[in-house]
Structure 1
Amino acid sequence: MHSEQPAPASAAKRDQIDALLDQAFAAYEQGRLDQAQGHFQAVLALDPQDFDALHMLGVMAMQKRALPQAIALFEQAIAADPEAGMAYTNLGIACMESGQPEKALASFDKAVVLEPSVEAFFGRGAAQQALKQWAATEASFAQVLAVQPGHVAALINRGHACLMLQRFDDAVACYEKAIAIEPQRAGAFAGLGDALLSMQRLPQALAAYDRSLALKADQPDLLGNRASTLLKLKRLPEAIDCYEQALQLAPRNAIILSNLSGALRESARHAEALAMADRALEVDPKLGGAHMNRGNALLDMARLDEARQAFAMARQAQPTDVEVQWALGWTSLLAGDWATGLPLFEVRWKKPGFSSEPRGFTQPLWLGETDLRGRTILLHAEQGLGDTINFCRYAPLVAELGAKVVLEVQPPLKGLMRSLAGGAQVIARGEPLPAFDVHCPLMSLPLAFKSTPAHLPAPASYLHADPQQVQAVAARLAPRSQPRIGLVWSGNAAHRNDANRSMPLATLMSALPSSGVQYYCLQKDIREADLPTLKDRPDIIRLHDALQGFDSTAALLDQMDLVITVDTSIAHLAGAMGKPCWILLSRVPDWRWLVDRPDCPWYPSARLFRQTSWGQWQAPLQEVAAALPAWLASAPKSS
């Protein structure tokens, strides 16, 4: 007869544990959580290293937001079963929710090896995103989408990663797919707006932001981005209003405060812009953009020393930022500190939107540090015609160093430049370049020669009109019966600073005498708004064909007794020819005109008349009107 032997004690305990686990899982699934927790704890009383009990108690602790307890339980569960990928996934989730992304990433890295689930890859992507590991983030969410192509959260987060990687087309595709699946996700529209804004597709970005805000109104960061879009669209009042809406939701958001400062500055509300930048820096004293906007506001107010201090602070916060270096350099030049400004001015070649492209020559750049004797140097023009006229003065100095000088200029200036001393070979841009050993952009020559406002080449004149053209123009003009004054009141309308440096003809003529003077128009292009004034002032003589090129313009200018002009190439041409030239300048002019002085170190024949308030020409024009009687008394009356 056979009789059953009693099971070993361990087997009996195992049966008891299994029964308790069955009861615990059943209670958990039925929502009887207190009862489930009691059963799991009873299991641990029998076996403190039971994986299922430790793991489920961790899950329940995480659901109650008892994150430290959950983390401890998951770690005990992993100690009990180091191959349980699910525990690593949940440990990663708990660490992420408790703000420990590094520890979370280590757990998810284990999980995707042991149990490569969607949850594990998603969690790893979220941890990488928190750590700004953008390429890895994109790869993790791509793995989620390989398994579940319609995973909306993964699509949105992959879009964010592509956005940070500047893969804007991929980001747009992710966001649009997420929207197609789930059209009510505000985050997808917000991300789409950010991607479109980065692509400068501004109307579409604005529409995406509006859709996101319609779904979820209280998004201060999104409102800030929407405001930045409006700013780029030149819709300044709307942009400022939108920034202010964002600040109602987040009054201490330093970035929004700083961006509002920039918008106020663009609206010429300089004092308010300064105050807003100061508010941003109270919140975040190291915010480079706020220091930059503070500096710009101070610059606009002509508080140059304070502006330079602000730009220096911005440079400390963002030492490699090109715009910051440019601002500090430009303001230092304007303030007359060329030792600081000229080296920083070289960053212009890295500045986005700079008016000249780097030439890409293989020959080395010369900045004064090497001997030029017996070598050929190419001096090449950059930026505008006035810049070339201004800085070509250095070519004879380069020749004196023993170099053969090749001077490449814009085609309209080729003839005029032949009058320059020093024997340079003058060629027009676009013509074949001769062989040369080194090169230097014209506007880098002040740095090469270590120029300062007190020490720069400023001959009385260094460019001259062609004698034959002068003779031809002189024959065309009526005999001089009164002093001749040449007028220029506006420059290139496309110039970024045109609104500040140009004025209506009527504004200029309001300060000038209506008799006793022969006026000549020295500008080729006349704006439509000025045509009625010209029609009403037949005493302003226009010689259209004498303004078709710089050679003929120089010949006409040669016949003038005085030139009154705003800051254009004609101002530089008059100064280079040694003509008496009165230059009307905006509140904060180009750096070459410096500040707080009526004379010009570049042009001995020039006299400067400056605005005292932004956009207000009344004060400098009053000075012109007051100075004219004395000039007229000594001006030639006949010829």
Structure 2
Amino acid sequence: MSFVVASLEDRIDQALSMGALEQALQLVANAEQQQPQNAGIQHRFGVVLMRLNRAHEAFAKFSGAIRLNPLSVDTRMALAQSYMAMNDGWSAAAWVSDACRVAPNNPAVWGQLAQLLASQKRDSELEPALRSGVAANPDSKMLVEALAEYYLNRKRYTEGLGVYEKLVPMDPRDTKNLLHFGFCLEHTHRLDDSVARYRESLAVNPDFLEAHVDLAGVLWRLADYEGSLHHARRAVEIDPNHPYAVRILGTALLHLNRLDEAEVQLRRALALKPDFPIAIVDLALLLLLAGKFEEGWQVYERRWTDTDRMNRPAFFRPELEWQGPLKQPVKGKRIVIYAEQGLGDVINFIRYAKVLQDDGATVYCVIQPELVPLVESMPGVIGLKPNLNIEADYHVALLELPLHYRTNAGNAPRETPYLHAPADKSAEWREKMKKWDGKLKVGIAWAGHFIHANHHNRCMPLSEFKAIIEMPGVQCFSLQKSDGERYTDMAVDEDQLVDFTGDWKDFTDSSAMIDNLDLVISIDSAVIHLAAAMGKPTWVVLPPNPDWRWLLDREDSPWYPTMKLFRRGHAEPKAAQMARVITELKAQKKALMARQGALV
């Protein structure tokens, strides 16, 4: 009897493979009459009915099969398929999940569960499912890769890193996984390791465009500007019309201050892909750096299309967004300025609060909490924390204001000081720093926030300040609140570099300390904006490719009258740049000390 059934099953399978569905249906119906309790035949009956698009009937057959063979993984998967055909994805996922329970060492079943959960956007269940699948099948490249890509796609780079460390050795020549491993390394600030993975990917496939693009993007962060340009050019050679390749070529040229060439490439990238937010911002910043303010501000207004990096506040209402003084005069109106970027940007552009006040507005500022007390030193300005709301006639993003007031390098509101330290705190710090009277008090900062994408351009080893710290007649004070230890490459006597930053509670403390300094020397960070906004002499040690607001080829700043810019060529070492700072400091020391009434 078993021989007959086996023969029927073979004939059914053969008919299915040939697409003879009606013949298969007749065969399976006959087989069911002979063996109504045979789970295999019930299962095949369901398969034939599914092929005939009769999902409800198929479901009944699969249900019978699972009762006869409760441990069948194939029938569980078939039940899931029938539920999908009946538009019941949740029940389908439940059956696949049960198949994983029955056969935990079957990677394909876990892979199917992951696909179903992902398609149903059940993210909270997807990660545990993938982790369980990998735990049960640690040698399954498919599952490990799925978990790695889960983290990558959600920008959870630290977690993704650990998975890629297991995945890449499974197939060291898989260029896609090498690329993604490098991407995770790059976004966890392991830039040298990231470069190594990108190069490994290119060693396998020298024409891998994406690897050239990503390698070009990370090399400029390591100050290898020519290397960045080389790989950007190679990417464009591989595909001259690939918008990401053209854009990275534009940025590589931009980082070399080759602005005319960079502008051509960035405009071409946008011609190839008009909805390209990061290229829009790149072009805007290039135009501003070049001093083409009118067009630069207009292009920069499109930065809001970059939803990965830019987000409006919760209280944002399009109809209340201010359209500028010509279209919407603010006399007698209440207007909320809201921060959109970093602390330095707020300090730099909060100057426009006074411009709005001069036009007759009542000004509220929704900014970072640590800046609220400082900003309220501006007469009449009301600072609010981001989680607070207020009824107002208009609101406006802080960096929209230069556009609305048609700001250029010649008409920027430049009057300082516009921020002030609290008088009582300034007096306290004066007393605290009194013991160094008679010396030139210089505040220094040598590193910006480590997580900043442009961090390599916003830091330098503390040893570069050694000659300033040890200069006779000069007393240095640290203005380095955080991340400085990464670049503290020399032991410093605490009497030579006094560090009071542990006593700072907010920006009113740092402003009060700065108020009692004679000079601030720093890399490009929030510190220099604060010092210059207070009218303090401020020297900025700039990288070869400076932030747009410092423009090119000038020692003064269009934003701050007390600021001096120390520039550096791409081939010039930092030590040579700092030597010019030191020479200038020596030349200015007597005058600066005399200005403060100190003894030389």
**2:326 equivalent to 1:372:** no
- Looking at structure 2, the residues matched to 340 and 173 of structure 1 have their Cα atoms a distance apart, in angstroms, of 49
Q: Which runs of 5+ in 2 are unaligned?
A: 1-6, 27-49, 63-73, 78-86
Q: Deviations over 1:356-401 (max 9, x none)?
A: 7624334711131322232211223444443332212111211232
| Identity across the alignment (%) | 26
Q: In the superposition, relative to structure 1, how do residues 221 and 473 fare at CA in structure 2: closer, same or farther (>3 Å)?
A: closer
Correspondence for 1:247 among 167, 178, 202: 202
**2:385 equivalent to 1:429:** yes
| Alignment-derived partner of residue 129 in structure 1 | none
SS of corresponding position for 1:607: strand
Within a 5 Å distance, the mapping from 1:472-487 to structure 2 comes to: 474=430, 478=434, 482=438, 484-487=440-443
- Looking at structure 2, the residues matched to 397 and 405 of structure 1 have their Cα atoms a distance apart, in angstroms, of 10
Correspondence for 1:307 among 241, 262, 268: 262
Q: In the superposition, relative to structure 1, how do residues 570 and 628 fare at CA in structure 2: closer, same or farther (>3 Å)?
A: same
More off after superposition, 147-156 vs 349-358: 147-156
Within a 5 Å distance, the mapping from 1:185-264 to structure 2 comes to: 186-200=141-155, 205=160, 218-264=173-219
Q: In the superposition, relative to structure 1, how do residues 356 and 608 fare at CA in structure 2: closer, same or farther (>3 Å)?
A: farther
Q: Deviations over 1:383-427 (max 9, x none)?
A: 44433322121112112323222344545544544553xx53423
Correspondence for 2:413 among 439, 442, 457: 457
| Alignment-derived partner of residue 18 in structure 1 | none
Within a 5 Å distance, the mapping from 1:525-564 to structure 2 comes to: 525=481, 527=484, 533-535=491-493, 537-538=495-496, 540=497, 548-564=505-521
**2:456 equivalent to 1:490:** no
- Looking at structure 1, the residues matched to 51 and 147 of structure 2 have their Cα atoms a distance apart, in angstroms, of 33
Within a 5 Å distance, the mapping from 1:35-74 to structure 2 comes to: none
* Contact 2:448 2:458 (8 Å CA) reproduced: no
Q: In the superposition, relative to structure 1, how do residues 633 and 161 fare at CA in structure 2: closer, same or farther (>3 Å)?
A: same
What amino acid sits opposite 2:391 in the alignment?
A
SS of corresponding position for 1:459: coil
| Alignment-derived partner of residue 250 in structure 2 | 295
- Please report how far the alpha carbon of residue 602 of structure 1 lies from its aligned counterpart in structure 2 after TM superposition: 0.2
- Please report how far the alpha carbon of residue 237 of structure 1 lies from its aligned counterpart in structure 2 after TM superposition: 4.3
- Looking at structure 1, the residues matched to 433 and 139 of structure 2 have their Cα atoms a distance apart, in angstroms, of 74
- Looking at structure 2, the residues matched to 343 and 349 of structure 1 have their Cα atoms a distance apart, in angstroms, of 12
More off after superposition, 330-339 vs 353-362: 353-362
- Looking at structure 2, the residues matched to 513 and 198 of structure 1 have their Cα atoms a distance apart, in angstroms, of 49
| Alignment-derived partner of residue 397 in structure 2 | 441
Q: CA RMSD in A?
A: 4.9
- Please report how far the alpha carbon of residue 457 of structure 1 lies from its aligned counterpart in structure 2 after TM superposition: 0.9
SS of corresponding position for 1:193: helix
| Alignment-derived partner of residue 341 in structure 1 | 296
* Contact 1:367 1:445 (8 Å CA) reproduced: no
Q: Deviations over 1:77-128 (max 9, x none)?
A: 99xx9x999xxxxxxxxxxxxxxxxxxxxxxx99647998999xx9xxxxxx
**2:339 equivalent to 1:395:** no
Q: Deviations over 1:532-581 (max 9, x none)?
A: 7542654x556669855544544443444433232233322332232322
| Alignment-derived partner of residue 236 in structure 2 | 281
**2:553 equivalent to 1:617:** no
* Contact 1:278 1:294 (8 Å CA) reproduced: yes
What amino acid sits opposite 1:509 in the alignment?
K
**2:318 equivalent to 1:360:** no
Q: In the superposition, relative to structure 1, how do residues 431 and 163 fare at CA in structure 2: closer, same or farther (>3 Å)?
A: closer
SS of corresponding position for 2:535: coil
What amino acid sits opposite 2:349 in the alignment?
F
SS of corresponding position for 1:592: helix
| Alignment-derived partner of residue 602 in structure 1 | 559
- Looking at structure 2, the residues matched to 615 and 379 of structure 1 have their Cα atoms a distance apart, in angstroms, of 41
- Please report how far the alpha carbon of residue 248 of structure 1 lies from its aligned counterpart in structure 2 after TM superposition: 4.0
- Count of residues paired in the alignment: 536
What amino acid sits opposite 1:592 in the alignment?
R
Q: Deviations over 1:583-632 (max 9, x none)?
A: 11222233222222211000111110123248942232122123234423
Q: In the superposition, relative to structure 1, how do residues 513 and 286 fare at CA in structure 2: closer, same or farther (>3 Å)?
A: same
What amino acid sits opposite 2:526 in the alignment?
S
* Contact 1:365 1:440 (8 Å CA) reproduced: yes
SS of corresponding position for 1:455: coil
- Looking at structure 1, the residues matched to 208 and 311 of structure 2 have their Cα atoms a distance apart, in angstroms, of 37
More off after superposition, 546-555 vs 557-566: 546-555
- Looking at structure 1, the residues matched to 98 and 515 of structure 2 have their Cα atoms a distance apart, in angstroms, of 79
- Looking at structure 2, the residues matched to 589 and 407 of structure 1 have their Cα atoms a distance apart, in angstroms, of 28
SS of corresponding position for 1:582: strand
* Contact 2:443 2:514 (8 Å CA) reproduced: no
- TM-score (normalizing by structure 1): 0.67
| Alignment-derived partner of residue 457 in structure 2 | 500
Q: In the superposition, relative to structure 1, how do residues 402 and 283 fare at CA in structure 2: closer, same or farther (>3 Å)?
A: same
Q: In the superposition, relative to structure 1, how do residues 424 and 146 fare at CA in structure 2: closer, same or farther (>3 Å)?
A: closer
SS of corresponding position for 1:378: strand
Q: Deviations over 1:198-252 (max 9, x none)?
A: 2456576566657666666653333433443444444444443433443344332
* Contact 1:349 1:358 (8 Å CA) reproduced: no
Q: Higher relative CO (CA 8 A, sep ≥ 6), structure 1 or 2?
A: 2
